[in-house]
Structure formats: structure tokens, C-alpha cells
Amino acid sequence: MFSTSFSLKPKCHGEIVVNEVSFVRKCIGADSSHGDLWGKLICTNFKVSFITHDALPKQRFQVANRLLGEHDVPLACVEQVVTVNDAKGKQKVLCSNQKLKFNPTELILYCKDFRIIRFRFDEAGPQSAKKVCLAIAHYSQPADPQLLFGFEYVGKQYYGSLAINSIPTQELTAACAGERVNGVDPGGGLQMPLFDRPSEWDREIKRTGAAEWRVCSINEGYIVSSSLPEYFVVPVSLADQDLKQYLCFFTAHRIPLWCWNHPNGSALVRMASISDPLQQRKLDQRICSAITKSHPQRSDVLKSDLDKNLPNIQDIQAAFVKVRQICVIEPFEESEEKWLSSMESSRWLEYVRAFLKHSAEVVYLLEGKHVSVILQEEEDRDLSCVVSSLVQLMLDPHFRSLTGFQSLVQKEWVMAGHRFLDRCNHLKKNDKEESPLFQLFLDCVWQIINQYPAAFEFTETYLTVLSDSMWIPVFSTFLFNCPQQRTENSMDFSKSKCIPLGEEKALRFPPVWDWSQQFTPKDQALFNNPMYVGKGATCVQNGAVKSFRRTKKNYSSTLRGMPSSLRNILMDGHDSLTLTRRNSLVPRLKPDFSQIREVVESPTERFFRDWVSRPADLQGMLIPQLLPSHLALWRLYFLRWVPEASILKGGPVTAYHKLSQLADEVEKLQSQLRQYKGATPASTPTSNPSAPPSDHSRMYFKAGSTLEPSSTPEYLSSSFPFSPVGNMCRRSILGTPLSKFLNGAKIWLSTETLANEAL
């Protein structure tokens, strides 16, 4: 009945088998063992693998990760390891280096991507089962950053073949400076900037027209600040010597960083708080004066204190934990009858709205008031990452393209020193430091995509896969708290393993943006939005193929009659800009409808009302609508592993499937039209039915032939390209409030009333 001829062929360099146990049953259904899979459970230094020859009860999806098998879970994705002994009625949460006094009959893995995976050891050897459980607990909680699998992966895949004693120095340097490392071309093969060199900052300055800003290199070698990048942008009027004098007064020496320039000259800047109260006014004046000088109209500068106006990281973490409990944690029966109210009380959507609203108000200042804005946060490494990114996403269509969005994350998160190692809690050291800031940002992006689907080149599948990649400890993007930490740990690791770096400063980890590490070109096509109307998008007009081009005016029209300056309210703490999170962008509806005419709109409200009244310019400014009905739960991310939430041949993927086929057909017709237009009468191409179809389409789903009408594939469901089978084990939810929600029920935020909906 059982076979032990299973073998694990490591997909990654540096991956080794730590422990394994045979005759393991992976639970597929929670109510019975019908359809469960039998196989071998293996723990490596990278992942938990389940090897089986059994077929899944349903046809599996076609997308596969090159680093992970269908039943694999990266160790970094494991949130909690729980062992159960049925006979003794015991249950234990395993931590690293702990002892297990009983033989487990069941293993439950609670994952950070909302999966719950169960394995049964009814037929397995007790001691082998115990050892593999202890191994999973130990290796999923590394004690040091250098124990994360990425170091072994990079060291073995590229540097492992280099021996410092057997290779001449010149050849060694040339090898370490090779054109490709782990499939990545450091010289620009990614077609996007990583912002680790001055030239890439220069290009961004020129792209945004920030003429009065310059690249600063005082932090080369991280001698000024350990959390700042080596190169960043500052006002031209601020000399390096001045910056060196100011930096000691800022928290962690994080002096103001330029983020982006509006075409009207307004700048978006972020900075840490000033640690010396005696220097507060003096430094504020100097910094603001320098930013003002960088503006063509010498416009004012406003400061937004994010710590005062937005939820803190602990509140965000608490909300995320509640959502996870509501969506996946057992027992479900306790919250079943109050599912909708529980989701509301988690405050997750309220926090999503708070960040979107605050970002929109900053957009108003940059766009409508023509003033520069400083985002201030204690350390400038958390909330400012979210707000600065959302502001740029709303104002600059470049960041709505795939490469543009990736460069935005690289610039505002990775290089700006967001503490991914701590916030993801990769080392399981301090739960108080854990917070899903990046997931919150992706949820905010999804909300905007949900409202303006044709404005973005990428899909919600891309956002979900990007979030999942945080738990694959191979990419430098999500492994470290800052670039300096990567350099320091890389040098230490290289010395301990005798890895020759040549002239390199550190090991070159692949960035997550090299998607060929995880997916085939065909599977990467799932990232492409068939509805995208972007700069350079092709169209057919009067029989000729043309490209859509944005005019050279501003990203969007400013409100007519709006004054171009605003009084400087950066005098002191009492006069500083306060963007309260509970005010609505539109006036609240009063009980007495006769009083509506007496309501005096603020300039902010008038600006947004005027913008909403015009047709949306997908290549201009985008402002999300923030009434309760406009915000939704991101179902693909939060509910993709729930079998009952998976709608066979239904959900958004159905529309995506049809639109992709339509876009593919349009691309083929355009190609034929270009060929026909460029051909001479003597060389007019003739149709060749037997010729193989071109596979250069950017769409995952191709247009069907006229002889074989296209139909929705059997494997498509609302969870596509993810499979809920075997990834969630709990009792049925049919007929519960959750099932009603899946059929269209709304979630209302507690801070709003139904009356607001009328607006």
C-alpha cells in the first residue's frame, strides 16, 4: 500500500536534507480522511517538502514555482509548529531547541501566507516523526541572519565553484564580476534601477525634472548612517559639509531624503524626527529653506507628522493577526455567527482606508496647492514607506507600470532601509517588532487597482506573488533591514566559508525582481493586465497601428482658480499640518437635509469633489474613493486557501481569462496589420494554416482558434493560480455569514454610517 521510493531532488543550490519520515498522510479534508495523500515528509535547510505519487482529488493548476514544489512550504513561511498526541490529548507549540516529551501523531503548520497544513503520523515511525517535527521547528527559527537559506544558496550557486587558492587574482576578479549572477545581470538586464549607484538616481532626477536636486554620496561605505543607502538625493543648495553637521541631530542620522518631484516643481521628501528639541526650529527652517529654493516658484513647505496621524506598527500587527484568525485559524465555530462584525472589529480595512486617505491628502497639497511636503516619522522606515509610495503611485503613471512599480518598491522600501528582517520576523526573535507594513501597502495598491483596473500594467496575482516572495529567503529584497546589513553579513559569511569575493563588497543576492528565478516566461504572463491602457499602448486608428501617448502637460489638471501658494504653517508643533485620519474627503451628511447648502466645503473637499466629477484620466492623477462600499476585502490574498471560497470556473479570473484571450487576439491582428502594411505587393504574405502560432504574446491565456471555440478551463477557479486543496483543513462554512459574504455581502467600517453611502 505504501511506497518508500520517494526521493527529493533539491531545486536550489545549497539545499540539504536535514530529516525525513515516511508513511505520512497529508490531510486534504478536515471531516474525513477521504482523498488524503500518502508520502514522505522531508525537512531541508530551505523548506518543508511532502513527496507523494498520489494525485490530487481535483485537477491541479498549471502554474509552478521553480524553487518550490506543489506541496512545499519555505521554512521562513512557517509561523507556528504545533504537534499533537491523540492518545494523551496533548498539544505543544514547538520552538527552536525544545524537547518533545511525547510522540506526535499529528503535525500542524500554521503559515504566514494564511495556510494551515496538517500531517498525520498514524503509520509512521514514532521516533522519526518526532525528529522531523523538531527539525522543522529548529530550522524555521534561525538564530542568526547568516543561517537564512539565502546565504547558502548564493554561496553554493555562484561562489561555491570558486577556490581562492586555485584561481589567479585577475581571473578571480573577473569571475566575481561576471555578467550574470544567479540569472541576474547586474549591468541592467532587469531593465529597472536598483538605486545602488549614482547614475540611477541621476536618471530618476532627470525623469521627474527635479533640476534643483543632486545626488549625495557622503554615505559611501555607510560611514554616516547605517540605515541610509550609500547614495541619495538632496537639494542643490545643501552642501555636503552642511549635511554632515545636521545629521547628528536626526534620529539614526537619517537626514531628509528626496522621494519624487511633481511637474509643477513641488517635492515629496521624507525624514526622521529631530532628536534634539533645542535644534528643532533651527533645522526645520534650514531644511525647509533648502527645499523652497528647489521649487521654481519658491513655494512653501508643509510637514506631515505620520506618527500622530496614522496607526502605529503595533496596531497594524494586531489588526492583521485578527484578520488571520477570522479567515483561517481554528476553531472557526467560535466566530462563525459574527464573522462580518469580527472582520469589521479587526480594523484592518479601517487602517487601509486611513493610509489611502492620508496619502490622498498629501496628493492634494502637491497637486492642488503646489507646495512641497515633508513626511516625518520617528525613524523614517515604516509608515513613511507606505505613504510616500502611495502618493507617487497616485500621481505618477510611471509607477503603475510593472518595472516602474518595482523601482518604486526598490527605492522607497529596500534602499530607504525598511526593516524587512524585523518586520517579517524572519528570525522569530521579537514579536513586538513584527508588523505587516508591506502587506498593508500591497492591500492599498489592490484597492486602487480594484477601482481603476485599466490604469495598472500588473494584476492582483502579481501583488499576491510578490507578498509570498517575502517568505522565500533567497532574495536580498526582503532579507535585510538595510543595504548595510546585507554588506556586513555577506562579508562575515564569506570569510567564514572562505568564499572569494574579489573586488565585490558583498555577496550578490538575486533581487526578487528577477522573476525568472521563480517562474517560466509563460507563467510570468499572469502578471500582465490585459486591460492596461498605458503610455505607449498600441491601438488601431483609421486602419493604422498607432501608440497612445500622454501629452506633455502635467500628470493631471489642477483645480482651476486654486491659489498656487499656501501659508507656511511649519512654525511650531501647534501650527504644523494636521491631517486627521477620521475626516472624510467629502462632507458628512447631516440629519437635516435642508442644511446641506449651508455646509462650507474646505479647499481639500472641493478639490476632490471637482476631480471626481471629471472622467478619470488613467495616465493622470488617480484618487481612490474611500466610502465603505468602495473598499473591499482582498479575497485572492486572504481567502485563496479556503476551499469553500473557491468558486469553480468563477470569480475575477473568469473575466481575466476572456480579456486575456481578447487582448491576445488584438495583438495578433495588429501584428498581421503591421506585416501587411510593410509588405510590397510582390511580397504580400500568404496565409499558412499549418504554420505554428507565434508565442510572443504577453498574455497567459491565448486566443482560441475559430474551429475550437474557447471555453473556461476546468482547473480555473476564483483562487487561481493558487490551489486551496490540502492547504486548509477545517469544517465546512456553507450557510454561515462567511458564505453570505462570499456571495456579495458588504463589510462596513465602524467609523462610517449608512448615510455616508448617499454621498
Dist CA 35 CA 656 (whole Å):
31
Dist CA 407 CA 398 (whole Å):
10
- pLDDT above 60 for 205: yes
CA distances from 47 to 8, 15, 132, 150, 566 (A): 11, 9, 12, 12, 55
pLDDT at 58: 53
**178/74: higher pLDDT:** 74
- 3-class secondary-structure state, position 355: helix
Question: pLDDT-based confidence at 337, cuts 50/70/90?
Answer: low
Lowest mean pLDDT among 110-114, 373-377, 578-582, 717-721: 578-582
- Positive/negative CA dihedral, 660, 665, 670, 672: positive
**690/161: higher pLDDT:** 161
- pLDDT above 80 for 110: yes
Question: pLDDT-based confidence at 553, cuts 50/70/90?
Answer: very low
Question: pLDDT-based confidence at 488, cuts 50/70/90?
Answer: very high
Return phi, psi of residue 80, to 5°.
-150, 140
pLDDT at 620: 93
Q: What is the mean pLDDT of the chain?
A: 80
**Inter-axis angle of helices 437-451 and 383-395, to 10 degrees?**
20
Report DSSP letters for 556-615, one per residue: SPPPTT--S------SSTTTSB---TTS-SSPPPPS-GGGGGGPPPPHHHHHHHHHHHSP
pLDDT digits (tens, 9 = 90+) for 320-332: 999 988 887 644 4
Beta carbons of 196 and 188 less than 8 angstroms apart: no
pLDDT at 499: 86
Question: pLDDT-based confidence at 166, cuts 50/70/90?
Answer: very low
pLDDT digits (tens, 9 = 90+) for 389-424: 999 999 999 999 999 999 999 999 999 999 999 999
Percentage of the chain with pLDDT > 70? 76
Strand partners, 73: 48
pTM of the model: 0.85
pLDDT at 716: 87
Please give the average per-residue pLDDT across 625-629, as a whole number: 86
pLDDT at 466: 98
Beta carbons of 318 and 391 less than 8 angstroms apart: no
pLDDT digits (tens, 9 = 90+) for 242-255: 999 999 999 999 99
**Nearest in space to 364 (alpha carbons), one of 645, 577, 167:** 577
Query: How crowded is residue 138: how many other Cβ atoms within 10 Å of its Cβ?
Result: 20
Collect all residues with Cβ–Cβ distance below 8 Å to 675 and sequence separation of at least 6.
685
17-141: which CATH topology?
PH-domain like (2.30.29)
Alpha-carbon torsion, ordered 476, 482, 487, 492, to 10 deg: -90
Taking the alpha carbons at both ends of the chain, their separation in whole angstroms is 65
Dist CA 268 CA 287 (whole Å):
13
Dist CA 681 CA 180 (whole Å):
45
pLDDT at 236: 96
CA distances from 543 to 178, 268, 532, 546 (A): 47, 43, 22, 9
Question: pLDDT-based confidence at 746, cuts 50/70/90?
Answer: very low
**326/736: higher pLDDT:** 326
